[in-house]
């Protein structure tokens, strides 16, 4: 997969943001910082290309409706267009949530926990559509592709969910470095 300019910029912002945040309490929370870097890098890499998709969607609205209004497999054409728009909205929310998590926003961590199952469903339908568009109608293939997409996306989301619900990660988010803390928290 090609790295778009948006992805490169977002990954650089992530790297510099995490570096700055991690320097505030250097040597502490190593396990949480490692998992945080891995999970946020996966989220940013997966969803930073959403800006390019949004640009294409705005400039090619009618083409997008036509492209995503076609039935693929078990899902009728009338359902693909709203699913596509929902996928874009969830991807944008996931990217913004990941960027907020750089500074250990516990509200963003909690938002990610309820967002992950929705992302699994959206990604599964996107995977299903991408795999089966233009392919022959083989019912067993449809079920296999749906199961494969759900298993892969579900496994990634499950690992992230377990990490962000773990005690070490909750402690990491509750220990906001002094330089990052809100002024009211310092009083």
What own/partner pairs with CB < 8 Å and gap ≥ 24 does 131-137 have?
132/72, 132/73, 133/70, 133/72
The pLDDT score that the predictor gives to residue 63 is 92
Structure tokens at 160: 């992230």
Report the pLDDT value the prediction gives residue 187, as an integer from 0 to 100.
47
The kind and range of the H/E element at 69 are none
In a 3-state reduction of DSSP, which class is residue 25? Answer: coil
Q: What is the pLDDT of residues 34-72, one digit of tens each?
A: 999 999 999 999 999 898 888 899 999 999 988 888 888
Q: Map residue 133 onto helix, strand or coil.
A: coil
Q: Which segments in the chain show pLDDT lower than 50?
A: 1-2, 180-181, 186-187
């Amino acid at each position: 997969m090609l790295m778009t300019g948006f992805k490169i910029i977002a990954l650089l912002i992530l790297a510099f943001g995490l570096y700055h945040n991690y320097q505030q309490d250097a040597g502490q929370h190593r396990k949480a910082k490692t998992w945080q870097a891995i999970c946020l890098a996966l989220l940013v890499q997966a969803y930073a290309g959403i800006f390019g998709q949004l640009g294409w969607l705005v400039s090619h609205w009618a083409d997008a409706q036509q492209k995503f209004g076609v039935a693929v497999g078990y899902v009728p054409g009338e359902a693909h267009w709203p699913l596509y728009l929902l996928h874009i909205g969830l991807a944008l929310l996931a990217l913004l949530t990941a960027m907020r998590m750089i500074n250990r926003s516990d509200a963003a961590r909690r938002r990610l926990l309820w967002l992950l199952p929705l992302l699994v469903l959206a990604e599964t339908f996107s995977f299903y559509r991408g795999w089966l568009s233009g392919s022959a109608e083989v019912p067993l293939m449809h079920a296999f592709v749906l199961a494969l997409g759900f298993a892969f996306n579900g496994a990634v989301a499950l690992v992230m969910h377990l990490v962000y619900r773990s005690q070490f990660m909750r402690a990491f988010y509750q220990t906001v470095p002094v330089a990052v803390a809100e002024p009211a928290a310092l009083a």
